[in-house]
Copies of this chain bind each other. A is one copy, B any other.
């Protein structure tokens, strides 16, 4: 009869000789930009393997019913690839969604919660880039940088002489809608320009000394500039409506680096056309990539194709964060940028 020790040895040998199970599958819905930019090999791991939906010729729904897909344990959603109830239903083993954005309005968070699926986002990786863009848009609108660039390129400087004056940044009262990671970075930057900061968010932040306004309308009335930095939720959809735009007034400027639908876009376009607000710097729109064509003729708006978050440095960082989250998940370690449901 084999001793206990002999048995243990036997087991160990059996373990070593038997083929190890294949690494768990991570569904990649769209190809991450960082793969093409820096090489996919930088983002692989021995802890998991990618199953690439974008490499299949099958329609997504059909692809997800294949045997392989049904065993997927984590979903990697980049470039705003939606993760909705239909998709989650076809992936019964999935326990994690990794998003590469800060905003999660393309993920059905309620369904994830119901199914016990954890969600991680880009954390604060993009905050600095988005804040840089918000400040860039504000300087551009106040100081007419893009409009004056068009004026010079059209050869009008020698003909028309000086370009109309812009407006000084220093002393401007800037109201930030949503003082999270992005909003705080915007505030930090604008303080160095001598702007006066106040903010609106669901709750007053105890650690912050900027004046707080619970009501977006009051924030608009008290400021020269509104900068939209919050997430799009049911509560913030069309938060910036006619009433808020009226309160901002004829000399007011609006900057949006949040999501298009936080502003009632139709109303904002009307206000811009009729001079009821002074200008706008917009990185996001309600129906991207469609931008209201009436804006194309206006010199007091700056239009940006939802590129506030896009720098190669951030793409690298966010893809590294995604892989680190996946490795943590498959090693039963704490996730690095867990999204916490309200």
Which A positions have Cβ atoms within 8 angstroms of B?
Answer: 128-129, 132-133, 135-137, 139-140, 143-146, 148-153, 155, 157-158, 161-163, 165-171, 188-189, 191-194, 288-291, 293, 296, 302-305, 307, 310-315
Judging by beta carbons under 8 Å apart, are A167 and B135 in contact? no
The 10 sampled A-B contact pairs (Cβ below 8 Å) are: A136-B136, A137-B145, A140-B140, A145-B146, A145-B302, A145-B304, A152-B291, A157-B291, A157-B305, A166-B311
Bound Cα distance from A122 to B44, whole angstroms: 59
Bound Cα distance from A300 to B314, whole angstroms: 20
Q: Are A145 and B152 also in contact (CB < 8 A) when A166-B311, A168-B313 are?
A: no
Which B residues are CB-close (under 8 A) to A193?
128, 132, 135, 189
- Residue of A145, A161, A189, A291 ringed by the most chain B CB atoms within 10 A: A145
Q: Are A163 and B314 also in contact (CB < 8 A) when A128-B194, A193-B189 are?
A: no
Q: A128-B169, A132-B193 are in contact. List 10 more A-B contacts (CB 8 A).
A: A133-B143, A136-B139, A146-B149, A148-B307, A149-B302, A157-B288, A162-B307, A167-B312, A168-B314, A189-B192
Which B residues are CB-close (under 8 A) to A129?
168
Bound Cα distance from A298 to B145, whole angstroms: 16
